[in-house]
């Protein structure tokens, strides 16, 4: 009865890529980068975005080669079922860890700035049902919902980016960090990147024609450009004090006095962040359930959601609750988990791309 | 039983409905009895800090909602002391019977005495507080912050002139500077660790400045003593405190600020006077030029390891006043163009001012125009070499060659 | 041999009267001419006496030649004279026909001289137009079909007849344009309609749940209109119309939410103006849904994101209120809803009295007495009025308004946005006759957006909508 068809078209996939790239990189990251490498944080962004684009490139190549096969089937065919299960277990771990990180960042942001009480249950009550619903309802509905909200999200984001440049008053100090430090810092925060990995999970569910890769590239580059612009505006308007401002996207708007007559325009950033965090978390949960289904195909979809909710609430409630611990968690634990997105998956994809060629030659 | 089962099955088909009902029961129910947040929080619009006997004396300008149809703003000043600011805030909340909400703070007033020692520890609480925007204006004053806030209270309550606007608008003037937490910390963390804080004094009735007639029924508030020499005038005279690492070094007056701002740029209004000016049109006249815009452009070069800074300042002026004995009214009023001589004179004057400004910076070892980052960004290697050669790194301005060339655009 | 099958007229009439439970309007007349007995039976409540006597009775009585089935059939002056079978007799009588038996024939004649007490087509009160056709459908299906036929001098307008309702036996007509409509949709509609087994169909709304994919959903899944020009436009787009007897409301399928944003007036004025109006409708609808919720969320959770000046105004004006904000806004919302309900039910001459009581006494005095605060009244009033920027969705928006009010008071801004995302994704999950509910916005269909959020001039709308399936997409030729 419900429209549970799971396929999305390329525009919807591109929009999802836009949202997921934009989301968790504009709040804490700029100031964390500044703490490590000063303004060269922008270079960190560029390096990591290059990796992200690399992933996207691999995806498109793979999709062109195997338009209708799912990633799990590919692994199963080439490496056997055990490897597939291990990789998908890592996927599950990756997504839930990222979810915890994102949830915590968002939670702390909202707790600090709009809800004054330390009400963790209220946040779970807000986020969990929507996440679960969107994850349960299927990718097509999720894609359509993203598509409907995309103009709003894009306009809000564009507004933030443009307005943030009004606040620029001075130039920060460049050339403060050497390349080693930059690489180290990039590595430290690598876990915030590699989001396009979700495309592999839904590989067989994206309607893809040859040449559609351009759209994916366009939207991801647009998103990256916006992030870099926000970071630039942030560094240029706060210069030496960038490390004091945790929530970059919010703070770049708070800095501007020229629009005092309008009241507080930073509310726009808050609304944008709310929208984006809902979608991002729901998408990660969707990835989680999808991987869970591959890992344990016999269990019904609901069980993966139940499993997720229990694990998630436990981690969030028991382990991490404040900013310092979240940052520690993000900088120390998560980079190891990023192995899946930046090592294992690219490796697999490269092997698939090569193997096939060799296989064909062999046949001849 | 069957029917109940069927019904339950139907309900569980729509889990979102159950969640909604649960939310309404568990959150909506209590919300029925929940007061508006405005009744739980005291809205603070200004914070005053004085040096206390033991720790810090805190005064808070609090917005008090009153039953009125004309939506007047009623403010009260609350005073509390504590060993630390956080403690004082708690006590202030205790006095008010409300939680303290700092999200609408527009201004933080610091007593001059606080700058004698390190002011940073006093400000620590405020910077940690996520609700307080770092674009909040921060000013120092010679009076007690408590008295200052009491004056501000009368301003905010009974007139449309808001004290924080008074400071904010002044940023446009050549005599004044932007003074917020942000600029303060930016200065503090800049290479020379110097920061400027706007200084506003309270003047007595006969002095300059702006005052609002206070109504007689005002005496109920707080504990402000109504002495004979009640200072109830806010005087923004373009003064500013120069601080280094949170300690005040020197106070600049408006003339000095003008000199610094001419170097800095980013002002949009100000007046320059040329005395005893003579040319084809005027003889021995006193000309006042009004500045209405400016653009400063810095070009940096290193020559034999010595940094040379070219400051090209475009100043847009108009002749706004001429004072001259024995003048013909028609002639002078008609003439709008300024002769080349006048422009040259103005250029000279500006050069003079800018030179004075440079001297002030050098004297105080204060890189208020953020020259360091400019030099460093354009020539990092030379700059490093240059700095290595210096004994006192803060004093680098003394070894920088300045070349100023103001360009006048008159309309 | 054949005389065996001839009717005993009196007996037949008695039999029919018995079947009709001797209802008092069942009338019979017997005409004896020579040895031929002619029996008429009809409902006097349905038949015009004058027409009966001048068009049927008199010509037969005055008939010079021999009375036979053929001669009677030829002499009767009516549009619809047909021979029927014996099983159809009751149905025909009930539909207003005069049924005629002859004792020298085995055939039965049905003469349709039904007198319709239908009102003339007038401007429907629900969809007034400023400029444009003012005709509206009436309760009579024949008139309605006439109004429709008048707009299509085309052989491709197909009208399919169905009868639904065990007792009402309501006549239902499925209308579509052959060659444009996707026949799958027509078949699906027919299948769904034929499956219906109910006592009666009083209004077309009775059919709506049977045609919806999600009959229990709050959201409307079948379009309805009272205006023939709208039905005409929708048929031209490739939709199917369902015309039900005894109601002026015509159903159209497939339905997408966008149709509610489109108003008849849009198409009869400048396209820029109507684009602006559509934008305003969306803003109005959004405000109606979210306005009170946002207000209460700001008051209960987020005073700190309100600008100081608004905060001062709100704080000053809510000081004297004895209720908590949530109770206050619930109270005002209910009050407005009660007033609305009353003003709908009351006869129009009492409407003025209610508006005086509502606006003046309750609103103004309530504020002056310090029971309710002006900002809350303004927010609720704007929301309640904004609701009527999309009047067809008033019911849905009112429910959502209360839902979002509850969410706003319970969870604040985060909950409101979550709720909004939920509602949209729920809407996205509705699909009727293969058309996504929120098309052409999600999924985004560029050509359909020419008549979506904005309306481009007619000359640019070259294609029929892609939001639902049609056979032929070209609307405007080269």
ipTM for the predicted complex? 0.92
Question: Is residue A78 a part of any domain in this protein?
Answer: yes
What does the pLDDT look like over C392-414, one tens digit per residue?
A: 888 899 999 999 999 999 998 99
B90 and B204, same structural domain? yes
pLDDT score, position B223: 38
Residues of C whose CB is below 8 A from A147: 441-444
Kindly state whether residues B232 and B261 are assigned to the same domain: no
Q: How confident is the model at residue B336 (pLDDT cuts 50, 70, 90)?
A: low
Residues of B in contact with A256 (CB under 8 A): 135
| B228 shares a domain with B154 | yes
Residues B158 and B114 occupy one common structural domain: yes
Domain membership of residue A5 (yes or no) is: no
pLDDT at B186 > cutoff 70: yes
pLDDT band for position A261 (50/70/90)? low
Higher-pLDDT residue of B218 and B317 is: B317
- Residue A104 C-alpha, separation from nearest chain C C-alpha, in angstroms: 15
Residue-level pLDDT at B228: 43
Q: In total, how many domains does chain A have?
A: 1
pLDDT at position B221? 39
Q: Is the per-residue pLDDT at B70 higher than 80?
A: no
Task: State the pLDDT at residue C422.
Answer: 93
Instruction: Answer whether residue A325 is part of any domain.
Output: yes
Residue range A25-43: mean pLDDT, rounded: 86
B291: domain CATH number is 3.30.300.210
Q: How far is CA C259 from CA C178, C222, C230, C239, in A?
A: 22, 10, 11, 12
Looking at the fold, whether B228 and B372 belong to one and the same domain comes out as no
Mutation target to probe the A interface, by most A beta carbons within 10 A, among B186, B369, B378 is B186
Cβ contact, residue pair C443, A263, below 8 Å: no
Residue C327: which of B32, B72, B103 has the nearest Cβ?
B32
Angle between helices A213-238 and A139-164 (to 10 degrees): 40
Q: What are C366-385's pLDDT values in tens digits?
A: 777 888 888 888 899 899 88
Residue of C175 and B121 predicted with greater confidence:
C175
Question: pLDDT > 90: what percent of chain B?
Answer: 2
Q: Is the pLDDT of residue A352 over 60?
A: yes
> Residue C287 pLDDT > 90, yes or no?
yes
**Residue B289 — very low, low, confident or very high, per pLDDT cuts 50/70/90?**
confident
Residue A1 resides in a domain: no
- C window 415-454, beta carbon within 8 A of A: 415, 417-418, 421-422, 424-425, 428-431, 436, 438, 441-444
* Mean pLDDT, all residues of chain A: 84
* Dist CA B75 CA C201 (whole Å): 67
Query: What is the least distance, in Å, from the CA of A79 to any CA of chain C?
Result: 37
pLDDT of A205: 87
Residue C266 has pLDDT above 50, yes or no: yes
Q: What is residue B226's predicted lDDT score, i.e. its pLDDT?
A: 42
- Asked whether residue A1 carries a pLDDT value surpassing 60, the answer given is no
Searching chain C, which residue's CA lies closest to the CA of residue A133?
A: C422
Same domain for B361 and B228: no
pTM: 0.89
The answer as to whether B406 is a domain residue is: yes
Task: Decide which of A245 and C239 is more confident.
Answer: C239
Distance CA C440, CA C468 (A): 10
Nearest CA in chain B to A235: B186
Q: Which residues of A are less than 8 Å from C467 in CB distance?
A: none
Q: How confident is the model at residue C295 (pLDDT cuts 50, 70, 90)?
A: very high
Determine the Cα–Cα distance for residues C172 and A214; give it in Å rounded to an integer: 52
pLDDT of C397 reads: 92
B43 touches chain C (CB under 8 A): yes
pLDDT at A357: 55
pLDDT in tens, A139-195: 889 999 999 999 999 999 999 888 888 877 777 878 778 888 888 888 888 888 888
Question: What is the tens place of the pLDDT at every residue in C415-473?
Answer: 999 999 999 999 998 888 888 888 888 888 888 888 888 888 888 888 888 888 888 88
SS (H, E, C) chain B: CHHHHHHHHHHHHCHHHHHHHHHHHHHHHHHHCCCCHHHHEEEEEEEEEEECCCCEEEEEEEECCCCCCCCCCCEEEEEEEECCHHHHHHHHHHHHCCEEECCCCCEEEEEHHHHCCCCHHHHHHHHHCCCCCCCCEEEEECCCHHHHHHHHHHHHHHCCCCHHHHHHHHHHECCCCCCEHHHHHHHHHCCCCEEEEEEEEEECCCCCCECCCCCHHHHHCCCCCCCCCCCCEEEEEEEEEEEECCEEEEEECHHHHHHHHHHHCCCCEEEEEEEEECCCCCCCEEEEEEEEEEEEEEEEEEECCEEEEEEEEEEEEEEEEEECCCCCHHHHHHCCCCCHHHHHHHHHHHHHHHHHHHHHHHHHCCCCCCHHHHHHHHCHHHHHHHHHHCCCHHHHHHHCEEEEEEEEEEC
C313 reaches A (C-beta below 8 A): no
What pLDDT, in 10s, does the model give residues C14-37?
A: 888 888 888 888 888 888 887 888
CA C283 to chain centre: 26
Domain contains B252: no
Tokens 């989001």 appear where? A195
B337 part of a folded domain: yes
Hey, is the C-beta of A358 within 8 angstroms of any chain C C-beta? no
- What confidence tens digit (pLDDT) does each residue in B237-251 have? 888 888 888 888 888
Q: Which residue among C304, C309, C441 places its CB closest to the CB of A148?
A: C441
Q: Pick the residue with more confidence: A15 or C118?
A: A15
Mean pLDDT of B334-352: 80
Claim to verify: residue B91 and residue B16 sit in the same structural domain:
no
Give B186: exposed, middle or buried? Use CB within 10 Å, 0-12, 13-18, 19+.
Answer: buried
Taking only the tens place, the pLDDT of each residue in A66-93 is 888 888 888 888 888 898 898 899 888 8
Mean pLDDT of B198-211: 76
Q: Does C302 touch chain A (CB under 8 A)?
A: yes
Q: Which strands form C108-112's sheet, in the order they lie side by side?
A: C26-33, C36-43, C97-102, C108-112, C80-84
Would you state the structure tokens that stand for residue C307, as one six-digit string?
């600008």
**B20 and B122 belong to one structural domain:** no
Interface touch A145/C424, C-beta < 8 Å? yes
pLDDT band at A356 (very low <50, low <70, confident <90, very high): low
Give whole-number Cα distances, A25 to A18, A33, A233, C179, C417, in Å.
Answer: 12, 11, 14, 53, 21
B189 and B140 fall within a common domain: yes
Let me know if B294 is exposed, middle or buried by CB neighbors in 10 A (0-12, 13-18, 19+).
buried
The answer to the question of residue A4 being in a domain is no
Please name the chains neighbouring A, where neighbouring means 3+ C-beta pairs under 8 angstroms: B, C
Rg value, chain C, Cα: 30
Mean pLDDT of chain B: 81
Q: Is the pLDDT of residue B330 over 60?
A: no
Host domain of residue B312 = 257-410
Residue of B nearest to C217 (CA): B14
pLDDT of residue B218: 41
Give the residue-averaged pLDDT of B242-270. Answer: 85
Average pLDDT score over chain C: 85
Q: Given this model, what pLDDT does residue C116 score?
A: 64
- Read off the pLDDT of residues C190-216 as tens digits, 9 standing for 90 and up: 999 999 888 888 888 888 989 888 888
Provide the shortest C-alpha distance from residue B373 to chain A (in Å): 5
Question: Which residues in chain A are closer than 8 Å to B106, comparing Cβ atoms?
Answer: none
pLDDT at residue C10 tops 60: yes
Domains: count for chain B: 3
Domain annotation covers residue B118: yes
Please list every residue in chain B whose beta carbon sits closer than 8 Å to the beta carbon of residue C304: 37, 41, 101, 103-104, 131
Chain B CB contacts of C415 below 8 Å: 23
Mean pLDDT of A98-118: 83
Helices A120-136 and A266-295, axial angle in degrees (round to 10): 60
Q: Is residue B251 part of a domain?
A: no
Q: How confident is the model at residue B159 (pLDDT cuts 50, 70, 90)?
A: low
Tell me which residue range forms the domain holding A68: 10-363
Q: Do C311 and B71 touch (CB under 8 A)?
A: no
Flag whether residue A278 sits within 8 Å of chain C, measured between CB atoms. yes
Contact C76, C102 (CB under 8 A): no
Q: Which of C318, C326, C407 sits opposite B34 (nearest CB)?
A: C326
pLDDT band at A363 (very low <50, low <70, confident <90, very high): very low
Does residue B319 have a cis peptide bond before it, meaning omega lies within 30 degrees of 0? no
Kindly state whether residues B10 and B150 are assigned to the same domain.
no
Say yes or no: B87 and B188 in one domain.
Answer: yes
Residue A228 sits in a domain whose CATH number is 1.20.1740.10
């Amino acid at each position: 009865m419900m429209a549970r068809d799971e396929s999305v078209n390329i525009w919807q996939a591109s929009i999802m890529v836009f949202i997921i790239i934009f989301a968790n990189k504009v709040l804490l990251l700029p100031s964390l980068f500044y703490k490590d490498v000063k303004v060269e944080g922008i270079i960190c962004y560029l390096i990591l975005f290059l990796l992200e684009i690399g992933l996207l490139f691999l995806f498109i190549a793979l999709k062109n080669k195997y338009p209708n096969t799912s990633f799990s089937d590919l692994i199963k065919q080439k490496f056997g079922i055990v490897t597939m299960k291990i990789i998908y277990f890592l996927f599950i771990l990756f997504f839930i860890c990222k979810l915890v990180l994102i949830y915590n960042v968002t939670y702390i942001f909202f707790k600090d700035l709009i809800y004054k009480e330390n009400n963790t249950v209220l946040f779970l009550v807000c986020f969990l049902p929507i996440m679960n619903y969107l994850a349960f309802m299927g990718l097509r509905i999720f894609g359509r919902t993203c598509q409907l909200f995309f103009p709003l999200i894009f306009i809000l984001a564009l507004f933030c980016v443009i307005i943030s440049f009004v606040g620029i008053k001075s130039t920060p100090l460049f050339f403060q960090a050497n390349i080693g430090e930059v690489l180290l810092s990039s590595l430290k925060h690598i876990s915030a990147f590699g989001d396009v990995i979700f495309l592999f999970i839904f590989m067989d569910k994206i309607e893809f024609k040859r040449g559609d890769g351009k759209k994916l590239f366009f939207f991801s580059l647009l998103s990256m450009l916006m992030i870099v612009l926000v970071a630039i505006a942030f560094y240029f308007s706060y210069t030496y004090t960038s490390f004091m401002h945790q929530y970059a996207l919010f703070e770049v708007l708070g800095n501007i006095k020229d629009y005092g007559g309008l009241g507080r325009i930073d509310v726009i950033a808050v609304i944008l962040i709310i929208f984006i965090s809902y979608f991002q978390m729901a998408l990660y949960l969707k990835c989680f359930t999808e991987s869970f289904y591959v890992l344990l195909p016999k269990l019904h979809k609901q069980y993966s959601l139940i499993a997720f909710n229990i694990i998630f609430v436990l981690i969030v409630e028991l382990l991490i609750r404040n900013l310092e611990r979240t940052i520690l968690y993000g900088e120390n634990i998560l980079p190891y988990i990023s192995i899946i997105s930046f090592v294992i998956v690219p490796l697999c994809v490269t092997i698939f791309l090569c193997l096939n060629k060799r296989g064909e030659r062999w046949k001849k | 039983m069957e029917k109940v089962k069927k019904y339950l099955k139907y309900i569980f088909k729509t889990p979102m409905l159950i969640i909604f009902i649960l939310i309404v029961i568990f959150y909506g129910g209590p919300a029925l009895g929940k007061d508006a947040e405005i009744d739980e929080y005291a809205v603070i619009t200004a914070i005053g800090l004085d040096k206390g006997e033991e720790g810090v004396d805190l005064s808070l300008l609090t917005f008090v909602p009153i039953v009125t149809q004309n939506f007047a703003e009623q403010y009260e000043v609350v005073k509390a002391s504590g060993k630390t600011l956080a403690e004082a805030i708690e006590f202030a909340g205790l006095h008010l019977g409300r939680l303290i909400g700092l999200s609408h703070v527009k201004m933080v007033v610091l007593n001059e005495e606080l700058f004698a020692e390190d002011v940073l520890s006093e400000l620590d609480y405020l910077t940690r507080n996520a609700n307080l925007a770092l674009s909040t204006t921060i000013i120092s004053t010679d009076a007690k912050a408590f008295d200052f806030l009491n004056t501000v209270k009368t301003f905010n309550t009974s007139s449309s002139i808001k004290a924080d606007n008074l400071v904010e608008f002044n940023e446009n003037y050549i005599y004044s500077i932007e003074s917020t937490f942000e600029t303060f910390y930016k200065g503090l963390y800049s290479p020379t660790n110097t920061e400027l804080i706007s200084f506003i004094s309270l003047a007595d009735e006969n002095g300059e400045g702006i005052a609002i007639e206070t109504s007689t029924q005002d005496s109920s508030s707080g504990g402000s003593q109504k002495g004979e020499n009640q200072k109830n005038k806010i005087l923004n005279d373009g003064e500013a405190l120069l601080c280094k690492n949170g300690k005040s070094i020197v106070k600049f007056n408006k003339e000095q600020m003008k000199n610094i701002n001419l170097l800095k740029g980013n002002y949009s209004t100000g007046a320059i006077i040329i005395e005893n000016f003579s040319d084809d049109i005027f003889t021995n006249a006193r000309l006042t030029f009004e500045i209405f815009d400016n653009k400063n452009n810095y070009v940096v070069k290193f020559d034999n390891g010595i940094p040379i800074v070219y400051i090209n300042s475009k100043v847009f002026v108009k002749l706004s006043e001429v004072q001259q004995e024995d003048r013909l009214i028609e002639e002078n009023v008609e003439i709008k163009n300024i002769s080349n001589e006048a422009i040259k004179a103005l250029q000279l004057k500006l050069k003079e001012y800018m030179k004075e400004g440079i001297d002030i910076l050098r004297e105080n070892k204060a890189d208020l125009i953020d020259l360091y980052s400019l030099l460093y960004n354009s020539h990092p290697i030379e700059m490093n070499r240059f700095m290595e050669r210096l004994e006192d790194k803060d004093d680098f301005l003394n070894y920088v060659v300045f070349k100023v060339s103001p360009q006048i655009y008159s309309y | 041999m054949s005389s065996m099958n001839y009717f005993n007229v009196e007996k037949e009439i008695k039999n029919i009267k018995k079947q009709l439970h001797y209802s008092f309007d069942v009338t019979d007349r017997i005409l004896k001419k020579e040895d031929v007995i002619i029996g008429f039976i009809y409902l006097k409540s349905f038949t015009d006496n004058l027409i009966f006597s001048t068009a049927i009775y008199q010509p037969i009585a005055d008939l010079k030649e021999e009375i036979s089935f053929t001669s009677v059939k030829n002499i009767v002056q009516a549009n619809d004279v047909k021979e029927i079978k014996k099983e159809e007799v009751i149905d025909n009588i009930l539909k207003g026909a005069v049924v005629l038996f002859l004792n020298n024939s085995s055939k039965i004649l049905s003469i349709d001289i039904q007198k319709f007490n239908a009102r003339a087509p007038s401007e429907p009160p629900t969809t007034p137009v400023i400029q444009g056709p003012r005709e509206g459908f009436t309760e009579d299906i024949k008139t309605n079909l006439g109004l429709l036929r008048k707009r299509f001098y085309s052989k491709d307008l197909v009208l399919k007849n169905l009868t639904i309702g065990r007792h009402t036996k309501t006549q239902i007509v499925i209308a579509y344009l052959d060659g444009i409509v996707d026949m799958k949709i027509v078949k699906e509609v027919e299948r769904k309609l034929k499956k219906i087994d109910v006592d009666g169909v009083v209004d077309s709304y009775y059919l709506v749940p049977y045609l919806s994919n999600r009959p229990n959903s709050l959201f409307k899944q079948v379009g309805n209109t009272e205006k023939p020009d709208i039905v005409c436009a929708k048929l031209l787009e490739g939709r199917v119309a369902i015309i039900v007897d005894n109601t002026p409301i015509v159903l159209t399928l497939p339905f997408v939410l966008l149709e509610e944003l489109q108003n008849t007036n849009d198409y009869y004025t400048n396209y820029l103006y109507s684009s602006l109006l559509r934008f305003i409708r969306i803003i109005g609808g959004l405000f109606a849904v979210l306005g009170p919720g946002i207000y209460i969320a700001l008051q209960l959770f987020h005073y700190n994101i309100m600008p100081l000046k608004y905060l001062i105004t709100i704080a000053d004006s809510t000081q004297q209120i004895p209720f908590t904000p949530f109770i206050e806004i619930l109270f005002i919302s209910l009050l407005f809803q009660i007033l609305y309900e009353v003003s709908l039910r009351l006869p129009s001459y009492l409407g003025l009295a209610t508006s005086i009581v509502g606006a003046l006494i309750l609103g103004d005095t309530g504020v002056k007495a310090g029971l309710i605060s002006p900002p809350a009244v303004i927010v609720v009033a704007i929301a309640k009025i904004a609701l009527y920027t999309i009047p067809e969705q008033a019911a849905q928006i009112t429910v959502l308004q209360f839902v979002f009010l509850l969410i706003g008071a319970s969870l604040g801004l985060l909950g409101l946005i979550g709720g909004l995302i939920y509602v949209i994704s729920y809407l996205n999950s509705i699909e009727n006759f293969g058309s996504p509910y929120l098309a052409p916005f999600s999924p985004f269909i560029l050509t359909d957006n020419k008549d979506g959020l904005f309306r481009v001039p007619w000359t640019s709308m070259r294609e029929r909508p892609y939001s639902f399936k049609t056979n032929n997409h070209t609307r405007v030729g080269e």
